[in-house]
Amino acid sequence: MANFALQLKNITKAYGETPVLKGINVDAEEGEFVVLLGPSGCGKSTLLHAIAGLHPIDSGDIIIEGKSVAGMPTRDRDVAMVFQSYALYPNMTVAQNIGFPLRMRKMPASEIAIRVAEVAKLLQIEPLLQRRPRELSGGQRQRVAIGRALVRDPKVFLFDEPLSNLDATLRVETRSEIKRLHAQLGKTMIYVTHDQIEAMTLATKIVVMNKGDIQQIGTPHEVYHRPANLFVARFVGSPTMQMFAGTLASNASGVVFDDGKGWSVPVPNADNTAVGKSVFLGLRPEHIALAPAGSGEMATVDAVEPTGPEDNVVLTIRGQKAIARFPTGSVEANTSVAVMLDLAKASLFAADSGLRLN
């Protein structure tokens, strides 16, 4: 039987007539790293703040380690939150900032010093303990903010886009630090971001949200390779999943995708009940590869976008646009190339509902 650290049951929240959370149900097992992923305004931060007790919910229940906390004030929920802004006290040293939650609990100074030293060692910020926030880099300040959460040893850690204010290099470093901490501590963490790379690299479970609804819950592998609908397919992945419009038909070889213009290809694992439906056939950019001359589909190279180790290549295949990932320097713009489509890894989505069909 699963040991749940956090359960969200049918959470609803509205501001006036505008619903923000529409019956959210999420379970986080002990030690899981759950990422709430979605575009701005999807409700992910509101949900995190509701867990923390910063925003009251309209209905539903929030359960932490088997105990309902929906009506409790923040201080009684035993959660710790790391904000996008570091929210450090500028007149305090790093050691004082980290130890502040313990002083509020009237913990003896000697015990606070021990706990602060343990956290500083874990975060590798021991040389910074006597500095003040203005003397730190952005990455160091965020480590101090994380340390202030760690020192409390809460039941659940809540992260509200903690890397948004960092530059690209510091984001990667701090992301790795958070992943290391999770592996070392084994604590339950709920993390909000709109950055899919953060979600894919950090999460054990991703909750994809849009307009106050959950679109899919799954592992990073499931969300990326088997998106539940068109929104997830297009939101997760950079470049996004490539879509080809057509219908499903059947012939002697089985179910085929037909673009209506003479292009018909077999689709493994397609559902026979979907024959006749208008669909989108989705392929990730890495599932479109260069083919030997004289084989595969002919494509026109419209543009080449170098990214360093590989190129994002904008193609026209059978009159439909797609982006592929090719080895750097392998093709040039305004040329024709042969490509292979890995249809065994294709996703099919109903054009009307947007739901996955295979």
Q: What is the mean pLDDT of residues 43-53?
A: 97
Domain extents in the chain: 4-235, 242-350
Decide if pLDDT at 2 tops 80. no
- CA-closest candidate to residue 193, choices 240, 236, 145: 236
Decide if pLDDT at 1 tops 60. no
Decide if pLDDT at 327 tops 80. yes
Q: What is the mean pLDDT of residues 79-104?
A: 92
Cα(322)–Cα(288) distance, rounded to whole angstroms?
Answer: 9
User: Per-residue pLDDT tens for 120-142?
Assistant: 999 989 999 999 999 999 889 98
Full 3-state SS string of the chain: CCCEEEEEEEEEEEECCEEEEEEEEEEEECCCEEEEECCCCCCHHHHHHHHHCCCCCCEEEEEECCEECCCCCHHHCCEEEECCCCCCCCCCCHHHHHHHHHHHCCCCHHHHHHHHHHHHHHHCCHHHCCCCHHHCCHHHHHHHHHHHHHCCCCCEEEEECCCCCCCHHHHHHHHHHHHHHHHHHCCEEEEEECCHHHHHHHCCEEEEEECCEEEEEECHHHHHHCCCEHHHHHHCCCCCCEEEEEEEEEECCEEEEECCCCCEEECCCCCHHHCCCEEEEEECHHHEEECCCCCCEEEEEEEEEECCCEEEEEEEECCEEEEEEEECCCCCCCCEEEEEECHHHCEEEECCCCEECC
Model confidence at 268, pLDDT cuts 50, 70, 90, reads confident
- Tokens representing 184 are 């070392």
| The pLDDT value given to residue 8 | 98
Task: Confirm if 228 and 234 have CB atoms less than 8 A apart.
Answer: no
Q: What is the mean pLDDT of residues 106-129?
A: 93
Q: Are strands 320-327 and 336-341 parallel, antiparallel or unpaired?
A: unpaired
- CA-closest candidate to residue 238, choices 326, 323, 330, 306: 323
Model confidence at 167, pLDDT cuts 50, 70, 90, reads confident
Decide if pLDDT at 271 tops 80. no
Mean pLDDT of the chain: 93
Which range, 5-14, 121-130, 268-277, is most confident? Answer: 5-14
- 4-235 folds as Rossmann fold (3.40.50)
CA 106 to chain centre: 38
Q: What is the mean pLDDT of residues 271-289?
A: 92
Task: Confirm if 237 and 68 have CB atoms less than 8 A apart.
Answer: no
Decide if pLDDT at 169 tops 90. no
Cα(34)–Cα(189) distance, rounded to whole angstroms?
Answer: 6
User: Per-residue pLDDT tens for 293-302?
Assistant: 888 899 999 9
- Tokens representing 138 are 């952005």
The CATH architecture to which 242-350 belongs is: Beta Barrel (2.40)
Q: What is the mean pLDDT of residues 300-322?
A: 95
Q: What is the mean pLDDT of residues 321-325?
A: 96
User: Per-residue pLDDT tens for 231-265?
Assistant: 999 999 999 999 999 999 988 778 899 999 988 98
